[in-house]
Structures are given as structure tokens and as C-alpha cells.
Structure 1
Amino acid sequence: MTDLGSTILINAAALFAVILALWAYSVKIRDVSFIDAFWAFGMVLLACATWAQSGSPGARSHLLLGLTALWGLRLTLHLWTRWRAHGEDPRYAKIMGSVMEKKGWSWSKTSLLSVFLTQAPLLFITCLPA
């Protein structure tokens, strides 16, 4: 397998593991709203993972990692603070309620399939250029 292929697989597996851990936390607190804060932080994590796996990162790699980290950490802090101050996001409550009503799913199944496992591939695809 090429270095790029193994990097992509490692990043995908790591993201999937983190998403499952976040889902377990969401089940415990019965709120999925913090996923917005993770979206930005997830980009930082994937950029760090890619940088760490590159053999000898050059100036462009350092710049990409630095800019991603600055942007992502700032946005993560903003969204996390907003979530902690205002609680559950009404958009997610509406989505969760609608899906649970239509499909008859439990809260945990709905949060996994309708929030976390839909966000993970989108985050991964968005980060592929990095």
C-alpha cells in the first residue's frame, strides 16, 4: 500500500474511533449538539495526524498544519463555549425528534445514524485535500 493509502486508512480509522467515543458521550448526556465544536477540532486532528505521518514535512506542511490549527482551535473554542452557555441546539433536537418519530428508533440509534455517522464521512472528505 502506498504511503498516501496508509495515511488515509489510518486517518479514517482514527476518526471513526473518535466519533464512536463522542457518540458514547452523547448517549450519556443525551445531547449531540457538541458535534459542531468537534467538526472544527476534527479538522485539526486530521491535519495533525497527516502531518505526523508524513516522512519529512516541508514548509507547506507546516504552514497548512499551523493555519488549520489556528482556525480550527479558535472555532472549536467558540462553538464549545456557545454550547456550554446555551445547551442543546434546537436544530439537533428537531432532527432527532423527527427521525425518532418517523423511524421509531431509540435516541442512541438516532444519534449514531443521523448525526455522528453522517458527520464523520463529511468531515473526512472535507479534510482529504490536507
Structure 2
Amino acid sequence: MIDLHGWAAFGVVTGAALVWLIILQATTFAIGHRLGRYNVVDVTWGAGFVGVGIIALILGPGDPLRRWLLAVLVAFWGLRLTWHVWSKTKGKGEDPRYEEMLGRAGGGVGTVIKKVFATQGAAQWFVSLPIQVSAVVGATSGPWIVVLVVGVALWLVGQVFEAVGDAQLKSFKADPANKGKVMDRGLWAWTRHPNYFGDSAVWWGIWLVAASAWPGVVTVLSPVIMTYFLVFATGARLLEKSMSKRPGYPEYQERTSYFIPLPPKKNQGDGDPATSGTPRGGERS
């Protein structure tokens, strides 16, 4: 249970996290405004969580082992993601998803700040609540150790899906022979969005680590919101809209699971799994 001292400590941690995220999003907006493209916000998505993890580690008075564990898990995930998105988007134009979103909303500066940067900053703060709460509570003990171990295992599954999926897509797109094809090999044969599924699994794992000590379990809405963003809000759903217009993608949709990894369906024509390639089913913004 968090006592008055614990609530005060949580106030310090969450206040510092908010200040960090506001500064980060303001700086990112300034850079994006100067470049004329706002998909730079995706580069700082992972970095924002890394900063919150460090803040929780330094300022939190809770169990040091769990604070270190969460800081390391978040840093490993966030830094890899930041590097991947930066290397993928540098020198390129605006993401079609943002063009569509901002086009519908009017596209002014105020709209950009509200719809993109303020929304992302608020999402980063809310999704990172398990880390913040966990930083001010006591040690995991007894049977709850099992919950912590399961959380780390789920984080590992998510990290593998995300990193391997990204590497498979990068290798596929580097081959000129695959130009214009649909990537349906490796993990992409099991789910159209292994990267988004991996993100979701990572954050459910982080929540389980936090839930191994009361009251971390009450932050369950954080991974729920993260999954909602990945599946419905700014992730897979928007990407599917543009990808479904590409030749071969509707057929890929028919034979491959949308989000949860499942064995690929057989082609009705010859009974063999599809082997044509594709741009990333769940391309990260």
C-alpha cells in the first residue's frame, strides 16, 4: 500500500516525468516544424519512456531491484526503437498517416500540437504509469515473484517479435528483387504487424513486473491504452488503410492474422503458403 510518504514520492516522480515529456515534445515539435514534417515525433516515442524510466530509477524510493529492472527493460526497448525509427525516417518525407490525420483536422499549427505532440506526450505519461508507481512501492515477495518472472518473459517475447520483425523487413526491402512485393515471410507470415504486436507484448510485460507489488496492478489501463493505440488509433488500422491499396496486399490480409500471431492460412489455389514478398505489413511510423 502507498502511504502518505509514498504518495508524496509518487508526486515527485510523476511531476518530473511530466516536465521531461513536455520539454521533449516541445523540442520535437520545434524540430519537426523546422523540417516541415512531423513524423519526427515517432523518433522520440521510445526516448520519452527511457527518460521516464531513468527518472523513476533516480527519484523513486521503492524497491531498487525492481526500479533497476524496469529501467533496463525500458531502456533496451526504447533505445533500439529510437535508433530504428530514426534510421528509417531520416531524409524522407512526411508519413502518409500523419498527412491523412492532419488533413482531416485542418492541419494548422495548433492542430498539429494538439493532435500529434500533446497527444503523444499524454500517452507517454499514462502508459508509463506502471513504471512510475512501481518506483515508490516495496519489494516483490512470495508468490508474486512468479508474476515478475512472467512479465520479464513476456517482455522478451515482445522484444524478439519487434526486433526480428524489423530486421526481416529491412533485409527484405534491401533486395531490389522484392520491390513492389508484399513482405509475408518469417514473422510477417504469422501476423501483419509483428512490430506492433511486439510493442504491445513489451508493455504488458512491463505492467506485469509492476503488478508484482501492490498497487502496481491498478495501472492495468496503461497497457490497455498502449494496445489501443497500436491496434486502432495511430498504428495498424491507419497503416492498413494505405497498404490495402497496394497490389497483393488484400490477398495477404486474407491469409495472415491481423495482430495476434497465428499460423498462416493456405492459399486456396494450391494449398501452399504464399511466398510473394511485401512492404512491411505493420510498417512503423
Q: Which residue of 2 aligns with 1:109?
A: 110
Query: Alignment RMSD, CA only?
Result: 1.7
Q: 1:56 to 1:123 in 2, by over 3 A?
A: closer
TM-score, normalised relative to structure 1 = 0.87
Higher gyration radius (CA): 2
The 1-side partners of 2:77 and 2:120 are apart by 19
Q: Which has the higher contact order (CA 8 A, sep 6+)?
A: 1
Q: Deviation string for 1:47-67 (max 9, x for gaps)?
A: 111111124762221111111
Letter in 2 for 1:46: V
Deviating above 6 A after TM superposition, structure 1's stretches of 4 or more consecutive aligned residues are none
Contact 2:13/2:56, CA 8 A, preserved across alignment: yes
Letter in 1 for 2:103: G
Q: Which residue of 2 aligns with 1:59?
A: 65
- Any residues of structure 2 matched to 1:70-89 within 5 Å, and which? 70-84=76-90, 86-89=92-95
Contact 2:50/2:79, CA 8 A, preserved across alignment: yes
The 1-side partners of 2:51 and 2:74 are apart by 9
TM-score, normalised relative to structure 2 = 0.41
Q: How many residues align?
A: 125
The one of 24, 46, 53 equivalent to 2:52 is 46
Percent identical: 27
Q: Deviation string for 1:53-106 (max 9, x for gaps)?
A: 124762221111111111111111111111115432110111112211xxxx62
Q: Which residue of 2 aligns with 1:121?
A: 122
Report how far residue 35 of structure 1 moved. 1.1
Is 1:31 aligned to 2:65, yes or no?
no
Letter in 2 for 1:113: K
Letter in 2 for 1:73: L
The 2-side partners of 1:47 and 1:87 are apart by 31
The 2-side partners of 1:5 and 1:93 are apart by 37
The one of 74, 86, 94 equivalent to 2:100 is 94
Report how far residue 31 of structure 1 moved. 0.9
Q: Deviation string for 1:1-53 (max 9, x for gaps)?
A: 71111211121122112211211221111111021121111111111111111
The one of 22, 29, 35 equivalent to 2:28 is 22
The 2-side partners of 1:63 and 1:113 are apart by 33
Structure 1 stretch 55-64 or stretch 76-85: which is displaced more?
A: 55-64
The 1-side partners of 2:9 and 2:61 are apart by 9
Contact 1:51/1:57, CA 8 A, preserved across alignment: no
Gaps of 5+ in 2: 1-6, 132-285
Gaps of 5+ in 1: none
Q: Which residue of 1 aligns with 2:192?
A: none
Letter in 2 for 1:35: V
Letter in 1 for 2:94: E
